[in-house]
């Protein structure tokens, strides 16, 4: 759930020495791949053929932005080339400076310089003075309703371009669920001293404050700046500062009170409360970074994971981490198991189960590679017909081996949560359409985005799938009476 710029985070992705060979391989579902698909689609819509002998010098150019890419960058066409410009809006006329041209794909990357004529969509004044320089946010100049609508289109395009499924197999994408907080939500950050990467460079900006951070994180940043300034000589090789919000809960006269602090030691333990469940986590490891939206997500999953008819009794949580989904959904199932490759995460997950008074007979955690997940699962304890699986993989998604195992296991229902809707679309395409010799076994019941990171181009995808009714491989003999 990274909140940095989606694609054009810096020129370092493109500058190569003359002696260095250029690797032109683009990983499927990566930000580069997503942007290229948007560029090619725009060229096709405009009936523009690629002309590889065009040369665009690194100079200033005036552009009319026509749309936003899925990476959050503005796209403009000029003289048969597509220009990619961050921090813009459809309808903007802007000045930009080209710094990289890729003639074989007919596009150029450019730095945003200034607005010549603002778009009608540019109605919001950014709350951060570093916006359009810092790489953290992309959309502070756009109203929140526009951001949510754009992110819905990102999910739609992801499944259209990456799932390999026909439109008839894709559901209507629901409206993107907004974050209760649009600023002051980010509960974790790791920043180079003393700031963030400057847009288009490898240089660090000296940033005094970050308005998307929670108040505890913002206060922690100020303290860390002062500490680093006093000891600047000790950072000869630089350092990365951890800022993690943690919650201490107390009760006074029956009223619950939460005190927020900022942890800067990555070996320390942070604590958060979601749906009144206490969740401890290593401060330096991954945990969801927008606590305000987490109860909204868990409520949505509870409302959809059981489905109609006979509900599943058991749950398997793949990529469980410190047990967030296993624990917050545990009351819905007779038995749940969480699996993660990190033994440290499993230790914390097991501790979290005890902190929340969940018995071992109801919730269990084991360390194991998700790619060999089902070797660890006893089908007598988790019969596929009565089991739901929650998947929350890293950005790269699941590999073919895992999807093959999942199809072979055949759980009755799947909830796939993803920080990369493009690899999510690819994986769900395999589950629905088949993979290799394995036939697709699932239909997509619901699909929508959740806005974990307002003001950025990122959108989280949540999809719920149900297993198809099994068909006979051979039609039953019509002359044989069924056994009642």
Residue 74, token pair as written in the block: 């503005």
Give percent above pLDDT 70 in the chain: 87
Residue 280, token pair as written in the block: 């401890």
Binding site for S-adenosyl-L-methionine: what residues are annotated? 288, 319, 340, 392
Judged by phi (left if over 0) then psi (alpha if -120 to 50, else beta), residue 323 lies in left
By mean pLDDT, which of 2-6, 129-133, 175-179, 373-377 is the weakest? 2-6
- pLDDT bin (cut points 50, 70, 90) of residue 135 is confident
Mapping DSSP to helix (H, G, I), strand (E, B) and coil, where does residue 360 land?
Answer: coil
- pLDDT bin (cut points 50, 70, 90) of residue 52 is confident
Active site residue 419: yes
User: Rounded mean pLDDT of 322-348?
Assistant: 96
pLDDT, residue 62, reads 98
By mean pLDDT, which of 76-85, 266-275, 466-475 is the weakest? 466-475
Q: Does pLDDT of 33 surpass 90?
A: yes
H/E stretch holding 102 reads strand 93-102
Structural domain boundaries of the chain? 11-17+26-122, 186-274
313 touches 334 (CB < 8 A)? yes
Handedness of CA 360, 364, 366, 372 (dihedral sign): positive
Per DSSP (E only), the strands in 227-334 are: 241-252, 255-263, 269-274, 277-282, 314-318
Query: If you ran DSSP here, which 8-state letter would residue 375 be given?
Result: G
pLDDT, residue 75, reads 99
* Cβ neighbours of residue 162 closer than 8 Å, sequence gap 6 or more: 28, 29, 422, 423, 425, 426, 429
Among residues 137, 398, 415, 419, which one is catalytic? 419
459 touches 421 (CB < 8 A)? yes
164 touches 433 (CB < 8 A)? yes
22 touches 16 (CB < 8 A)? yes
CA dihedral 220, 224, 225, 227 (to 10 degrees): 140
Cα 49 to Cα 43: distance, rounded to the nearest angstrom: 7
Q: Does pLDDT of 470 surpass 80?
A: no
Average pLDDT, the chain: 88
pLDDT in tens, 354-405: 999 999 999 999 998 767 778 778 899 999 999 999 999 999 999 999 999 9
Q: Does pLDDT of 238 surpass 90?
A: no
User: Rounded mean pLDDT of 94-101?
Assistant: 96
By mean pLDDT, which of 14-18, 166-170, 279-283 is the weakest? 14-18
User: Rounded mean pLDDT of 171-195?
Assistant: 87
Pick from 197, 187, 225, 198: nearest CA to 209: 225
User: Rounded mean pLDDT of 146-168?
Assistant: 98
Cα 173 to Cα 447: distance, rounded to the nearest angstrom: 5
Cα 58 to Cα 408: distance, rounded to the nearest angstrom: 53
H/E stretch holding 472 reads none
pLDDT, residue 304, reads 97
Going by CATH, does the domain composed of 11-17+26-122 fall within 2.40.50.140? Answer: yes
Handedness of CA 101, 105, 106, 109 (dihedral sign): negative
Query: If you ran DSSP here, which 8-state letter would residue 101 be given?
Result: E
By mean pLDDT, which of 112-116, 303-307, 375-379, 471-475 is the weakest? 471-475
| Beta-carbon count within 10 A of 287 CB | 22
User: Rounded mean pLDDT of 172-198?
Assistant: 83
pLDDT in tens, 70-92: 999 999 999 999 999 999 999 99
Residue 404, token pair as written in the block: 């093959």
Residue 35, token pair as written in the block: 């942007």
- pLDDT bin (cut points 50, 70, 90) of residue 318 is very high
- pLDDT bin (cut points 50, 70, 90) of residue 8 is very low
Query: If you ran DSSP here, which 8-state letter would residue 205 be given?
Result: P
- pLDDT bin (cut points 50, 70, 90) of residue 198 is low
For 223-238, b where at least 16 C-beta lie within 10 A, e where not — what string?
Answer: ebbeeeeeeeeeeeee
How do 241-252 and 188-191 pair as beta strands?
Answer: antiparallel
Q: Does pLDDT of 308 surpass 70?
A: yes
- pLDDT bin (cut points 50, 70, 90) of residue 210 is very high
- pLDDT bin (cut points 50, 70, 90) of residue 481 is very low
pLDDT, residue 196, reads 55
Residue 452 burial (CB < 10 Å; 0-12/13-18/19+)? buried
Per DSSP (E only), the strands in 297-382 are: 314-318, 335-340, 363-367
Mapping DSSP to helix (H, G, I), strand (E, B) and coil, where does residue 291 land?
Answer: coil
* Cβ neighbours of residue 254 closer than 8 Å, sequence gap 6 or more: none
- pLDDT bin (cut points 50, 70, 90) of residue 476 is very low
- pLDDT bin (cut points 50, 70, 90) of residue 26 is confident
- pLDDT bin (cut points 50, 70, 90) of residue 203 is low
pLDDT, residue 235, reads 66
280 touches 348 (CB < 8 A)? yes
- pLDDT bin (cut points 50, 70, 90) of residue 14 is very low
pTM of the model: 0.89
Residue 199, token pair as written in the block: 């847009």
pLDDT, residue 284, reads 84
| Of 83 and 192, more confident | 83
Residue 352, token pair as written in the block: 């979290």
CA 371-375-376 angle, to 5 degrees, is: 100
132 touches 125 (CB < 8 A)? no
H/E stretch holding 386 reads none
209 touches 186 (CB < 8 A)? no
């Amino acid at each position: 759930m990274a909140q940095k710029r989606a694609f054009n985070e810096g020129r370092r992705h493109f500058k190569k020495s003359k002696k260095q060979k250029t690797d032109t391989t683009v990983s499927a579902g990566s930000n580069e791949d997503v942007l290229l698909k948007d560029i090619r689609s725009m060229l096709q819509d405009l009936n523009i053929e690629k002309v590889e002998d065009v040369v665009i010098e690194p100079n200033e150019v005036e552009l009319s932005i026509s749309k936003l890419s899925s990476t959050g960058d503005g796209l403009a066409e000029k003289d048969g080339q597509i220009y990619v410009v961050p921090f813009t809006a459809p309808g903007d006329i802007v000045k930009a400076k080209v710094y990289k041209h890729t003639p074989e794909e007919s596009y150029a990357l450019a730095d945003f310089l200034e607005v010549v004529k603002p778009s009608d969509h540019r109605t919001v004044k950014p709350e951060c003075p570093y916006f359009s320089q810092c790489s953290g946010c992309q959309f502070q100049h756009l109203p929140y309703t526009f951001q949510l609508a754009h992110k819905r289109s990102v999910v739609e395009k992801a499944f259209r371009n990456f799932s390999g499924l026909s439109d008839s197999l894709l559901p209507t994408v629901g409206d993107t669920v907004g974050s209760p907080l649009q600023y002051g939500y980010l509960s974790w950050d790791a920043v180079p001293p003393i700031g963030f990467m400057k847009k288009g460079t490898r240089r660090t900006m000296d940033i005094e404050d970050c308005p998307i951070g929670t108040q505890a994180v913002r206060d922690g940043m100020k303290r860390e700046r002062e500490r680093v300034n006093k000891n600047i000589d000790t950072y000869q090789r630089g350092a990365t500062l951890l800022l993690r919000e943690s919650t201490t809960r107390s009760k006074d006269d029956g009223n619950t009170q939460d005190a927020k602090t900022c942890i800067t030691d990555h070996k320390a333990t942070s604590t958060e409360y979601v749906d009144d469940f206490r969740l401890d986590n290593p401060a330096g490891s991954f945990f969801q970074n927008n606590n305000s939206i987490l109860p909204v997500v868990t409520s949505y999953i509870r409302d959809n994971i059981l489905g109609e008819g006979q509900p599943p009794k058991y749950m398997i949580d793949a990529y469980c981490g410190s047990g967030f989904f296993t624990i917050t959904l545990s009351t819905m199932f007779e038995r749940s198991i969480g699996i993660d490759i990190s033994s440290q995460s499993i230790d914390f997950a097991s501790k979290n189960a005890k902190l929340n008074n969940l018995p071992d007979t109801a919730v269990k955690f084991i360390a194991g590679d998700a790619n060999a997940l089902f070797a660890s699962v006893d089908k007598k304890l988790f019969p596929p017909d009565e089991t739901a699986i929650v998947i929350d993989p890293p950005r790269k998604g699941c590999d073919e081996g895992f999807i093959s195992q999942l199809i072979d296991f055949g759980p009755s229902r799947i909830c796939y949560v993803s920080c990369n809707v493009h690899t999510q679309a690819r994986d769900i395409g395999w589950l629905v359409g088949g993979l290799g010799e394995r036939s697709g076994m699932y239909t997509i019941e619901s699909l929508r985005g959740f806005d974990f990171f307002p003001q950025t181009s990122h959108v989280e995808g949540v999809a719920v799938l149900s297993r198809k009714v099994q068909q006979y491989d051979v039609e039953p003999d019509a002359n044989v009476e069924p056994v009642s």
